[in-house]
A and B are shown apart, each in its own frame.
Chain A
Amino acid sequence: MEPGDRAVIPASQLEPLIGALRQRGYTVVGPRPRDGAVVYDVLDGASDLPVGWTDLQAGGSYRLEKSDSPAYFGFRVGPHSWKQLLHPPTLTRWRARRDDGGFTIDDTEPAPPRYAFLGVRACELSAIRIQDRVFLGGPYVDASYRTRREGAFLVAVNCAEAGGTCFCASMKTGPRVGPGFDLALTELLDGGRHDFLLEVGTKEGAEVAGELRSRPAAEPDLAASEAASRHAEETMGRRLETEGLPELLCRRYEDPRWDEVARRCLACANCTMVCPTCFCATVEDVTDLRGQEAERRRRWDSCFTLDFSYVHGGSIRTSPGARYRQWITHKLATWHDQFGTSGCVGCGRCITWCPVGIDITEEARALQGLESQGG
Chain B
Amino acid sequence: MAVLTFEKTLGAHPFFKDLLPIHLDTVVGCAANVVFPAGEFIFREDQPADRFFVVRHGKAAVEIFAPGRGPVTIDTVEEGEVLGWSWLFPPYMAHFDVRALTLVRALSLDGACLRAKCEKDPALGYELMKRFNQVVVQRLEATRMQLLDLYGNGRG
**B155 CB contacts on chain A under 8 angstroms:** 313-314
Chain A hits for B154, CB < 8 A: 313
Residues of B within 8 A of A314 (CB): 155
- Chain A residues in 8 Å Cβ range of B156: 313
Q: Is the interface of B mostly helix, strand, loop or mixed?
A: loop
Which B105-156 residues have a C-beta within 8 angstroms of A? 154-156
Q: Which residue from chain B places its CB closest to the CB of A313 in the assembled complex?
A: B155
User: How many residues of A are in contact with the other chain, CB < 8 A?
Assistant: 2
Q: Complex Cα distance A314/B156, Å? A: 9
B91-117 contacts to A, CB under 8 A, are none
User: What chain B residues lie within 8 Å of A313 (beta carbons)?
Assistant: 154-156
How far is it, in angstroms, between the C-alpha of A314 and the C-alpha of B153 when the chains are bound? 11
Measured in the bound complex, the distance between the Cα atoms of B151 and A313 in whole Å is: 11
* Complex interface bits, A302-328 against B, C-beta within 8 A gives 1, otherwise 0: 000000000001100000000000000
Docked pose: A313 CA to B156 CA in angstroms: 7
CA distance A313 to B148 in the complex (A): 13
- A314 vs B155: C-alpha distance in the bound complex, in angstroms? 6
Which residue from chain A places its CB closest to the CB of B152 in the assembled complex? A313
A314 and B154 alpha carbons, distance in the complex (Å): 8
Q: Which residue of A lies closest to B155 (CB)?
A: A313
Nearest B residue to A311, CB-CB: B155
The smallest beta-carbon distance between B150 and chain A, in angstroms, is 10
- Report the minimum CB–CB distance from A105 to chain B (whole Å): 33
Which chain A residues in 283-341 approach chain B with CB under 8 Å?
313-314
Q: Complex: how many Å from CA A204 to CA B18? A: 84
- Distance in angstroms from B83 CB to nearest chain A CB is 36
A165 to B155, CA, bound (A): 42
Which residue on A lies nearest to B153, using beta carbons?
Answer: A313
Residue on A with the closest CB to B156?
A313
* Closest residue on chain A to residue B154 by CB atoms: A313
Distance in angstroms from A312 CB to nearest chain B CB is 8
* B147 CB to nearest chain A CB (Å): 16
Q: How far is the CB of A317 from chain B (nearest CB, A)?
A: 14
Q: How far is the CA of A348 from the CA of B155 in the complex (A)?
A: 39
Cα–Cα, bound, A313→B152 (Å)? 10
0/1 string, A251-285, CB within 8 A of B gives 1: 00000000000000000000000000000000000
Shortest Cβ gap from A20 to chain B (Å): 60
Q: How far is the CA of A313 from the CA of B155 in the complex (A)?
A: 4
- Shortest Cβ distance from residue B123 to the other chain A in the assembled complex, whole angstroms: 42
B window 57-107: CB within 8 A of A: none
Chain A residues numbered 181-227 whose CB sits less than 8 Å from any CB in chain B: none
B residues sitting closer than 8 Å to A (CB atoms) are 154-156
| A contact set with B: CB distance below 8 Å | 313-314
A-B contact pairs, 4 of them (CB 8 A): A313-B154, A313-B155, A313-B156, A314-B155
